[in-house]
Amino acid sequence: MTDQLPKKINLLGLTRVQFEQFMASIGEKPFRARQIMKWIHHYNLTDFEQMTDLGKVLRQKLAVIAEVRLPKVLFHHYSTDGTRKWVLDMGLGNAVEMVYIPEAKRATLCVSSQVGCSLDCDFCSTGKQGYQRDLSSAEIIAQVWIAQQSFMPIANMGMRPITNVVMMGMGEPLLNFEQLVPALEIMLDDLGYGIAKRRLTVSTSGVVPKIDALTDAIDVSLAISLHAPNDALRDQLVPINKKYPIKTLLAACQRYLDRYGSRRRITIEYVMLEQVNDSVMHANELVQLLSNLPCKINLIPFNPFPHTPYQRSSESRIAVFQQRLIDAGFTTTIRRTRGEDIDAACGQLVGQVQDRTRRQKDWQAVVLRQAASGESKHAS
Looking at the annotation, which residues are catalytic?
A: 97, 346
Do residues 124 and 137 touch, judged by C-beta distance below 8 A? no
Alpha helix segments (H runs only) across the chain: 16-25, 31-37, 56-65, 125-128, 137-149, 177-188, 208-217, 231-237, 246-260, 280-289, 315-327, 351-379
Q: Beta-carbon neighbour count of residue 372 at 10 Å?
A: 10
φ/ψ region of 22 (left if φ > 0, alpha if ψ in -120 to 50, else beta) reads alpha
- DSSP one-letter code for 97: E
* Spatial CA neighbour of 310 closest among 346, 350, 276, 351: 276
Using the Cα atoms of residue 174, residue 177, residue 182 and residue 183 in order, give the sign of their dihedral.
negative
C-alpha dist (Å) from residue 88 to 115, 170, 178, 215, 372: 10, 12, 21, 30, 32
Do residues 301 and 337 touch, judged by C-beta distance below 8 A? yes
Q: For the packed helices 280-289 and 315-327, what is the interaxial angle rounded to 10 degrees?
A: 30
User: Length of the chain in residues, anyone?
Assistant: 380
C-alpha dist (Å) from residue 18 to 10, 182, 344: 12, 9, 34
Do residues 339 and 345 touch, judged by C-beta distance below 8 A? yes
C-alpha dist (Å) from residue 111 to 79, 84, 193, 348, 362: 17, 12, 14, 14, 29
